[in-house]
Amino acid sequence: MKIDRLIALILILLERDRISARELAERLEVSRRTIYRDIDTLTVAGLPIYTHEGATGGVGLMKAYKVDKSFFTQRDVQTLAAGLKSYRQLFGHKELAYVLEKLNAIHREGGSDLAAGGKFAVDLSLNQGNESLRSLLSLVETAMNDSRYLAFDYADRDGRLSGRQVEPYQVVFKESSWYLQAFCVERADYRIFKLARMRGLQVLQDHFSPREFKPLPMDGGSWMNQDRVDVKIRIHRSVVDQVIERFGEAHVLEMGKDTCLATYPIVNNTFGYDKLLAFGDKCEVLEPPEVRAAFRAYLRGILGRYDE
């Protein structure tokens, strides 16, 4: 949006004594011709912009126009910038470049630049095989912003498809997956949908009146905890970090030289067995006996597909 770009341009000029049109164009991701037009617009609006020609030339604002920009602390700016950069990685929204420039101009300490990154960084960039997720997220974002219904076919854990029409309210990133919290018209209740299980997602023309939405719990509550049992496993030390990251150090019961004992809660079905299978040959299910037997039968069923 032009207004966002103009605001970002003003803040850059407030922060810098002089800057070239080329650098402005690079930072705002537009052509130099667009920068010249924006400068003309700001000049007509009454901003005291001056220009210098030559190799060391550029544009700037009269010093009398400079204002105090210390509205945010350095930590505030870095926190906001980290979130915006992650958001831009997902959606690729060009206008976020303008917002980041505003933050960069608001507060700079010791010549540092937000582009150099802070102490913590979140990388949500999508790999090549997951680029389709960006289009899904963009459709969901459009529907939420315009309060429009989403329609899609949804595959349950057994692969069965059912048509859904929902009022979208919130997108959540949880344990490497993306979920949509929405009010399902067919079920007349709030539901959580995994984006990767959606098929044929469409933004409908019909609008809905937003409800008083309260985010649904995604902390291992009942929606994730059905039929869950604590499985005791023996795993190699090289994969113990996966247990800690998912459930915490309290689930590591005993640490040995090469292996350790741990509890690993799973849903007692093929979905849970797939979680254990992800450890490969570095995991052995010890108890309860019925889960060990069911997991062994599951493995034999997989092996049977490869028997001649």
Cβ 185 vs Cβ 166: under 8 Å: yes
Across the chain, which has 308 residues, the per-10-residue mean pLDDT values are 73 80 86 85 77 75 60 59 60 61 57 55 59 78 92 86 94 82 94 90 95 81 63 94 87 91 91 90 95 94 86
pLDDT of res. 264: 94
pLDDT of res. 27: 86
The closest alpha carbon to 90, from 143, 129, 139, 138, belongs to 138
pLDDT of res. 91: 58
Which H or E run contains 285? strand 283-287
1-114 and 130-207 have identical folds: no
The count of C-alpha atoms lying within 13 angstroms of the C-alpha of 290, restricted to the half-sphere facing its C-beta, is 4
Residue type, 190: Y
pLDDT of res. 101: 64
CA-to-CA distance for 173 and 153, rounded, in angstroms?
21
CATH no., domain 1-114: 1.10.10
Contacts of 121 (CB under 8 A, 6+ apart): 82, 85
CATH 2.30.30 fits 130-207, yes or no: yes
pLDDT of res. 83: 59
pLDDT of res. 225: 47
Whether this model's pTM surpasses 0.85: no
Domain boundaries along the sequence of the chain:
1-114, 130-207, 228-304
